[in-house]
Amino acid sequence: MRTPVKIRLTTTIQQPGTEAETFELWSSGTMTVKNGQRYLQYEEKQDELDIRTTVKIGETEALILRSGGLDMRLPFLLDAEQQGNYTNEQGTFLLTTATHELVASDTRFFVHYDLAMGASAVGEYKMEIIYTEVTS
């Protein structure tokens, strides 16, 4: 069953040698629970592109899939490195996540990870998604 939800996404990015930056996004979407996994789906606009995002949330692993003007597969496994990819008009790039913390509940998803593109460190990320059911 799809449940309508309100979503607040907060991302803090610490790139090497720079101040941390925090971004916030508010959106609406849906939450579906299947086989013990939560699937959060929402849309956002980024650089004039409509991006559809699905976040598959488990106890110790998660997966972010984005499609639209870009395609991205970003997997997370607690205390492990995972391979993903990012595709835009310039090509496809290999991404690596190293997940330090992953917390999932009925209303919150949090992941703290290091991101690399190819052999280059992109930065340290902390992403929190708070989702609440929309009641009529």
User: CATH number, domain at 120?
Assistant: 2.40.128.20
0.85 exceeded by pTM: yes
Cα–Cα distance for residue pair 39/54, rounded to 1 Å: 7
Domain interval for residue 32: 2-133
To the nearest 5 percent, what fractions of the chain are helix, strand and coil?
Answer: 0, 80, 20
Element (H, E) at 134: none
Show pLDDT as tens, one digit a residue, over the chain (136 residues): 899 999 999 999 999 889 999 999 999 999 999 988 999 999 988 778 889 999 999 989 999 999 987 899 999 999 999 999 999 888 999 999 999 999 999 999 999 999 999 999 999 999 999 999 998 6
CB contact at 8 A, 70 and 51: yes
Cα–Cα distance for residue pair 53/50, rounded to 1 Å: 10
Cα–Cα distance for residue pair 75/78, rounded to 1 Å: 10
Look at residue 97 and give its three-state secondary structure: strand
Domain total of the chain = 1
